[in-house]
Structure 1
């Protein structure tokens, strides 16, 4: 979200939060013993570490990234000790690329055939706002009966924060998974600044779920591509699956989400049992 004067409030909040988490001793500065009014480094300390003027850094931290070069952004990222995901987020917020509105392409027959062919691998196709737009039979058996969930409630966010069955599936891992999901949405929002549907989805989730809103305000940033889920499945019990979220270059912004288990593991045996007993249908034509 941006002010009408060109200042990016989310960029400002992000930089302030990352400065606040650094202590002087974290960056090799001697502790003076003086009590600080606010946590973290002072602006002048951060500016000195980045090698930029205090005035220059102050404008940036106020959300004014006009005329700030990529080299300066990288210097600030190093001084703040940002992760690679956070560094990319900083660049995308500071210098958003002009982009046409993002529209979900129609699902090609080849993609539907690909899903249907994966009889032993749970598979989903996600839109830019993480709405599940297609799935195979084992994907539904593992995660949810997507066919009975209205499309507007079928995003990973809705399921994680507002669907009791989906939340129970994650057991004691729910808080971690929820935090990572919101952090991933933040990277998507920066990557697709012209995606009105994604912006509306985030606004709707913030309004409907105080838990989501709190995590959004925490400003976590992490692109989630590969991850591990330890599930408590109602049909087969404990199962650990490894997820790989893959881009579909010819069908942006769709992503293919695949889930596997370690060969020879109890989880592989559980997934095989699920494939045998699962009755939830695949999405249409899969």
Structure 2
């Protein structure tokens, strides 16, 4: 990775070396070790590459790295599918091609939610749903998602999942499993950084969160990598109390940088009753579906 990039191949490989115990790969644990996990030379030997080449790779100075070498390193480090792709993204950050000039117009185009999708959100009146874009920006949300998260009451710049998770007041009470949500947000940002290592807005967001949150700094250094797929969120809502909601992340055809996120309760559960109560409360306030471009809010 070049200077100014935010992917961090060295940080990623060091964090993954630290996870592997020498005994796990058949190496004797001789004496006291200065670093946890595998040393560079041990990984290089196990992967069948020279220590000089591996060192250059970890420092971001290797060029035209082959799939075979990356696969060998991934095998030794026991990387999963998402981590393997992340390693490829970090090792091949666009080569020497000139970086595209990022303008406010191009950012707006990428952040725009299609009218048909905005209408779909509006018609999903019983299901909290939102569209998330690059950098965990919330690009659009429906009335139920607003009732659930209070998007319209937030400062516009906090309509970002990572900022909300680490900087929004009361968020640790709102999320029953806040530490899991926090790690998920950092893992998704790392994935985004690997795909877009030259993005100044993403670099600014990571810098802001690093300055404002000790927890973010600690998690960022661990380099978790995970895509947002599906799972369960346990929330404590100020109006209806505790909710347990399954979330699904649906990739949108035609725009790889956007996804539709929905939240549903189990049928017949207390959470379903409380979500219906929230819908009734929301109907009396009638918050509109909101879409906006976050590009103008970067700082």
Mapped pair 1:264 → 2:268: yes
Shift of 1:185: 0.7
Residue in 2 that maps onto 1:165: 170
Q: Partner of 1:238: helix, strand, or coil?
A: strand
Residue in 2 that maps onto 1:175: 179
Mapped pair 1:120 → 2:122: no
Residue in 2 that maps onto 1:2: 2
TM-score, normalised relative to structure 1: 0.89
Match of 1:22 among 8, 20, 31: 20
Alpha-carbon distance between aligned partners in 2 of 1:9 and 1:154, rounded to the nearest angstrom: 24
Range that drifts further, 109-118 or 200-209: 200-209
Residue in 1 that maps onto 2:188: 184
Change (3 A) 1:51 1:90: same
Structure 2: tracts of 5 or more residues without a match: 292-299
Residue in 2 that maps onto 1:225: 229
Alpha-carbon distance between aligned partners in 1 of 2:62 and 2:200, rounded to the nearest angstrom: 23
Alpha-carbon distance between aligned partners in 1 of 2:76 and 2:65, rounded to the nearest angstrom: 16
Match of 1:85 among 82, 86, 96: 82
What are the Cα deviations for residues 222-281 of structure 1, in whole angstroms up to 9, with x where unaligned? 112212111112222221111122222323422211111222222222212211222361
Structure 1: tracts of 5 or more residues without a match: none
Shift of 1:9: 8.0
Match of 1:12 among 6, 10, 14: 10
Q: Partner of 2:71: helix, strand, or coil?
A: helix
Alpha-carbon distance between aligned partners in 1 of 2:33 and 2:77, rounded to the nearest angstrom: 18
Shift of 1:153: 2.1
Q: Partner of 2:249: helix, strand, or coil?
A: strand
What are the Cα deviations for residues 118-150 of structure 1, in whole angstroms up to 9, with x where unaligned? 011100112212122211111111122x12323
Change (3 A) 1:284 1:82: closer
Range that drifts further, 271-280 or 114-123: 271-280
TM-score, normalised relative to structure 2: 0.85
Would the aligned equivalents of 1:143 and 1:166 in 2 still touch at CA under 8 Å?
A: no
Mapped pair 1:202 → 2:206: yes
Q: Superposition pairs for residues 26-37 of structure 1, below 5 Å?
A: 26-32=24-30, 34-37=31-34
Mapped pair 1:48 → 2:48: no
Would the aligned equivalents of 1:131 and 1:151 in 2 still touch at CA under 8 Å?
A: no
Alpha-carbon distance between aligned partners in 1 of 2:51 and 2:197, rounded to the nearest angstrom: 29
Deviation >4 Å, runs of 4+: 98-102
Mapped pair 1:72 → 2:72: no
Range that drifts further, 192-201 or 96-105: 96-105
